[in-house]
A and B are shown apart, each in its own frame.
Chain A
Amino acid sequence: MELKLVEQLLEKYFQGETTIAEEKQLKAYFSSNDVAPHLAKYQSLFGYFETQKGTQFEQKLPLQPRKQSTVKWIGIAASFVVLFGLATFYFYPSEPKKEDLGTYDNPEEAFAATQKALLMVSEQVNIGMESVVYLEEYEKTKKTIFK
């Protein structure tokens, strides 16, 4: 490369106006053996840049297989189960059990059955009343004493 061109490029280089291609030309020039004596001082700089390109990263990468995410998903799934559980209790409180007591198709039979049932209830009530009579007796005695 002509010396004049090199000097021009170098000036552009220091102004930050060279392209990558021009910079490569400069680097090639400075790595050659016939560098003009007054430019030799820049040789170490360009030489240094070239040597740095060879530096490599040789460490192993400690890449963990992504186990974290499965743990996270289990957590999310569990919280959903809990949420649904609570939701069902809140929105659908357990309904009282309906017992099937049977039914009559014939109105007369139904009437008879109802009468029988009511009769039974009243009999039971009367038994209850009989025992209340004793209580009245007790009331009377109480009145005679505490007047």
Chain B
Amino acid sequence: MNQNEFVQIITPFKDKLFRLAKRMLVSTEEAEDATQEVLVRLWNKNSALEQYNSVEALAMTMTKNYCLDQLKSKRASNLQIVHNNYQDKQASVETQIEHQNTLQWAEKLMNDLPEQQRLILQLREIEEYEFSEIAQVLEMNETAVRVALSRARKTLREQIEKTHNYGTQVS
């Protein structure tokens, strides 16, 4: 397999790897590094790649594992770097701010979920994977995926309701 063929293979899903890494690691730079690392490892597998049914599923699993390792080592060394992409909102129009804020807020809600639920949500909502594909990538069974997905969605709903009702209802 030469370099061009390899690039052709990875082109359809390299953005997915990046988005998954970004979901896990939050920081864009770290996600870029992770994606590069995974793709280089994939490249070094070379001819072994042909044995896999789905290179995409393999690459997604590698990304997941790599990110979890990264998070673990970061936690172990007590070095929690949390990047927030602060943006200059000075110039935006009020409605744009509002729009931007609700999106950022949704992102924050999602990123506050446990790692596994975040992974599943990412694969389901954004990449629109079937349950069987998610199960393959995350190396778990479909029922567990479904349960975790439902749990994640319900947590999001609770958070939304809580914020939505804030100040309007006395509980």
Interface residues of A (CB under 8 A from B): 13-17, 20, 23-24, 41-42, 44-45, 47-49, 51-53, 55-57, 59, 61-63, 65-66
- How many residue pairs at the A-B interface have CB separations less than 8 Å? 78
Question: Per-position contact with A for B55-71: 1 when CB-CB < 8 Å, else 0?
Answer: 00000000000000000
Interface size on B, residues (CB 8 A): 40
Given A23-B128, A55-B19, list of 7 further CB < 8 A pairs?
A: A16-B146, A16-B149, A41-B160, A41-B161, A45-B109, A47-B102, A61-B43
**28 A-B pairs (CB sep. < 8 Å):** A13-B153, A16-B146, A16-B153, A23-B128, A41-B160, A41-B161, A41-B164, A44-B102, A44-B160, A45-B106, A47-B103, A48-B103, A49-B125, A49-B126, A52-B125, A52-B126, A53-B126, A55-B18, A57-B14, A57-B17, A59-B32, A59-B35, A61-B39, A61-B43, A62-B36, A65-B3, A66-B44, A66-B46
Interface residues of B (CB under 8 A from A): 3, 6-7, 14-15, 17-19, 22, 32, 35-36, 39-40, 43-44, 46, 102-103, 105-107, 109-110, 124-126, 128, 130, 146-147, 149-150, 153-154, 156-157, 160-161, 164
Report whether B36 and A48 are in contact in the complex, using a CB–CB cutoff of 8 Å. Answer: no
Q: Considering the complex, give the chain A residue whose CB is closest to the CB of B32.
A: A59
CB distance from B31 to the nearest CB of A (A): 8
CA A59 to CA B147, docked complex, whole Å = 36
Report whether B36 and A16 are in contact in the complex, using a CB–CB cutoff of 8 Å. Answer: no
